[in-house]
Amino acid sequence: MFRRLVEPAGHVTVTIDGRPFSVAAGETLSTAMLLAGFAGLRRSARLGRERGPFCGMGVCFDCLVTIDGAANRQACLVRVRDGMAVQTGTRLAALADTVPE
C-alpha cells in the first residue's frame, strides 16, 4: 500500500498486536503501521466498521490505537519509540485494561 522513498538512518522495534516489527527510528506511528501492512487500526464505535488513518494531521480521530496501555491515542501524532507496544482493533476502550498498575 505504501513504500519508503528514503532509507532510514536507523531502526527500532515496536510490537504491534504482539508481533515485533522493525521500523524506521523516529517515524510517525501511523506511517510505520501502514508500511507494516496495517490498514485498519480500529473499529468504529457504533457500527463496528474498520477504520484507518485518514487526515494524517490529528483532526479526524480515526487512527486511534492503544499505545503502551493507553487506549485511543492518535497514531498520526506519535513517533515510534523502541519497545513501544501497540494494540489495534479497539471498538470501545475497556478502562480497566488501561489503568496503570
Question: Which positions lie near another protein, rule CB under 8 A?
Answer: 1-6, 24, 26-28, 31, 34-35, 39-41, 44-47, 49-62, 64, 70-72, 76-77, 79, 92-96, 98-100
* Closest separation in Å from C-beta 24 to another protein: 7
Q: Is 91 exposed, middle or buried (0-12, 13-18, 19+ CB in 10 A)?
A: middle
* Closest separation in Å from C-beta 52 to another protein: 3
* Closest separation in Å from C-beta 19 to another protein: 18
* d(C-alpha 75, C-alpha 66), whole Å: 9
* d(C-alpha 88, C-alpha 77), whole Å: 16
Take residue 39 and report the three cell numbers written for it. 490498514
**Closer by beta carbon to another protein, 20 or else 92:** 92
